């Protein structure tokens, strides 16, 4: 399928999934553009995995409509399968087979023509840095190497759409950085990617981002759009005693969240309206409260980040709900 950049690859309307009395996904609307890395951000239990399973036809929705490449899902899920790849956070290949044997098996499963299999595997071994490990048992690879092999297996049939469900949650930062470079290479080559994560630094890498909370889609946009909506609502407080200052600031009217970051405090306010008035008003109130308590401190406005966005749209403490990398 040839899809122009920006064209919607996935359309979901009112997507809902119930498990008994539990509503795991609640009336979610999605529009995923082609050739981009689209992220799902949310803690465990927010509905990310359930949504992905419905979008790729593995789980039937309780309500709502799904179209992927114009195909009605789940009714036409079988026709969709040859166009998609799917990778989970758990290493799902055969540990007692070599790197090459795993790719040969997956090529057969995905229907890669035998005449093209050897060339395609050789290409992936080079691209994913397995040239000197092709005969190594998959079970002896490091965590990062296993994830790279799983990604190579997921794209062996050159899918136009790739679903990745928290693919890097168990690997080190260097391996995650390398993994994401591979994802952007795929996007540059025309693949659309939908990636779920609970890591803030990964969410910041996405072209566009949806935030899920308790099965509800609470925000959708580019990282810059989402953080821009909080203009004038975030502050840094430099205090001599940050722990005591935190206890004082959290009760200031208009303060939504106070989190310690190193030796400073990061403050998110619930105020809206005129940006200049908001910055001056809340900053002045924080300074006044700290001064009355004998605290030496300085309050300055600072740009919002995605953790601020998460707190603002969910009303939860992101430090406990989402791991900030």
- Cα three-residue angle 141-146-151, rounded to 5 degrees: 150
Mean pLDDT within 53-61 = 95
Alpha-carbon dihedral angle through residues 160, 82, 170, 166, given to the nearest 10 degrees = 60
- Domain CATH number, residue 149: 3.40.50.300
Quick check: 318 pLDDT over 50? Answer: no
Shared-domain flag, residues 57 and 99? yes
- Domain CATH number, residue 277: 3.30.70.100
Shared-domain flag, residues 23 and 138? yes
Q: Which residues contact 189 (CB under 8 A, 6 or more apart)?
A: none
Percent of the chain at pLDDT > 70 equals: 91
Give domain status of residue 314, yes or no. Answer: no
Burial of residue 22 (number of CB atoms within 10 Å: 0-12, 13-18, 19+): exposed
Looking at residue 280, its pLDDT comes to: 64
Q: What is the pTM of this model?
A: 0.87
pLDDT tens across 141-196, in order? 998 899 999 999 999 999 999 999 988 876 788 888 999 999 999 999 999 999 99
Quick check: 278 pLDDT over 90? Answer: no
Percent of the chain at pLDDT > 90 equals: 73
Shared-domain flag, residues 171 and 237? no
Looking at residue 275, its pLDDT comes to: 46
Shared-domain flag, residues 288 and 178? no
Report DSSP state, residue 61. -
Give domain status of residue 315, yes or no. Answer: no
The string over 220-252, giving b where at least 16 C-beta atoms fall within 10 Å of a residue's C-beta and e elsewhere, is: beebeebbeebebbbbebebeebeebbebbeeb
Burial of residue 266 (number of CB atoms within 10 Å: 0-12, 13-18, 19+): buried
Give domain status of residue 317, yes or no. Answer: no
* Residue 243 backbone phi and psi in degrees, to 5: -65, -45
Give domain status of residue 308, yes or no. Answer: no
Looking at residue 282, its pLDDT comes to: 79
Give domain status of residue 324, yes or no. Answer: no
With H, G, I as helix, E, B as strand and everything else as coil, classify residue 146: helix
pLDDT tens across 253-274, in order? 889 999 999 999 999 998 654 4
Residue 160: which domain range?
A: 8-227
Mean pLDDT within 137-142 = 94
Distance, in Å, from the CA atom of 192 to the CA atom of 3, rounded to the nearest integer, reads 10
* End-to-end C-alpha distance for the chain, whole angstroms: 37
**Domain boundary residue, one of 227, 261, 286:** 227
Shared-domain flag, residues 18 and 142? yes
Looking at residue 88, its pLDDT comes to: 85
Rounded to the nearest integer, the mean pLDDT of the chain is 89
Distance (Å) of CA 159 to CA 66, 86, 152, 163: 19, 10, 11, 10
Shared-domain flag, residues 43 and 157? yes
Give domain status of residue 2, yes or no. Answer: no
**Domain boundary residue, one of 177, 208, 227:** 227
Q: Which residues contact 9 (CB under 8 A, 6 or more apart)?
A: 3, 32, 33, 34, 68, 69, 160, 161, 192
- Determine which helix (DSSP H) or strand (DSSP E) holds 116, and give its type and residue range: helix 114-127
Shared-domain flag, residues 217 and 68? yes
Shared-domain flag, residues 15 and 142? yes
Question: 10 Å Cβ neighbour count for 295?
Answer: 18
DSSP for 193-239? EEEEESBHHHHHHSSEEEEEETTEEEEEE-HHHHHHTTTT-EEEEEE
Query: ω before 74 within 30° of 0 (cis)?
Result: yes
Shared-domain flag, residues 255 and 212? no
Q: Which residues contact 45 (CB under 8 A, 6 or more apart)?
A: 214
Shared-domain flag, residues 182 and 235? no
- Tally the domains of the chain: 2
Shared-domain flag, residues 275 and 165? no
pLDDT tens across 225-253, in order? 999 999 889 999 999 899 999 999 999 88
**Domain boundary residue, one of 227, 253, 282:** 227
Shared-domain flag, residues 275 and 177? no
């Amino acid at each position: 399928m040839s899809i122009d950049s920006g064209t919607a690859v996935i359309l979901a309307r009112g997507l809902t999934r119930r498990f008994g009395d539990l509503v795991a996904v609640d009336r979610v609307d999605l529009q995923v553009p082609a050739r981009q890395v689209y992220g799902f951000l949310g803690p465990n239990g927010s509905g990310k995995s359930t949504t992905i399973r419905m979008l790729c036809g593995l789980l039937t929705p309780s309500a709502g409509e799904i179209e992927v490449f114009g195909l009605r899902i789940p009714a036409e899920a079988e026709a969709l399968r040859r166009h998609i790849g799917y990778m989970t956070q758990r290493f799902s290949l055969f540990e007692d087979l070599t790197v090459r044997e795993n790719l040969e098996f997956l090529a057969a499963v995905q229907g890669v023509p035998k005449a093209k299999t050897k060339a395609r595997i050789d290409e992936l071994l080079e691209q994913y840095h397995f040239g000197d490990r092709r005969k190594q048992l998959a079970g002896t690879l490091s965590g990062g190497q296993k994830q790279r092999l799983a990604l190579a297996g997921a794209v062996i049939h050159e899918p136009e759409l790739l679903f990745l469900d928290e693919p890097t949650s168990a690997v080190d930062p260097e391996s995650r950085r390398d993994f994401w470079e591979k994802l952007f290479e795929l996007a540059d080559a025309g693949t659309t990617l939908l990636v779920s994560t609970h890591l803030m630094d990964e969410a910041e890498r996405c072209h566009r981002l949806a935030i899920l909370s308790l099965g509800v889609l609470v925000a959708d946009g580019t990282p810059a759009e989402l953080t821009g909506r909080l203009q004038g609502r975030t502050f840094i407080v430099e205090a001599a005693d940050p722990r005591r200052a935190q206890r004082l600031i959290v009760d200031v009217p208009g303060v939504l969240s106070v989190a310690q970051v190193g030796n400073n405090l990061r403050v998110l306010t619930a105020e809206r309206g005129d940006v200049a008035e908001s910055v001056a008003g809340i900053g002045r109130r924080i300074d006044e409260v700290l001064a009355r308590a004998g605290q030496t401190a300085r309050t300055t406005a600072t740009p919002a980040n995605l953790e601020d966005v998460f707190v603002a749209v969910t009303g939860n403490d992101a430090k406990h709900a989402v791991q900030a990398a």
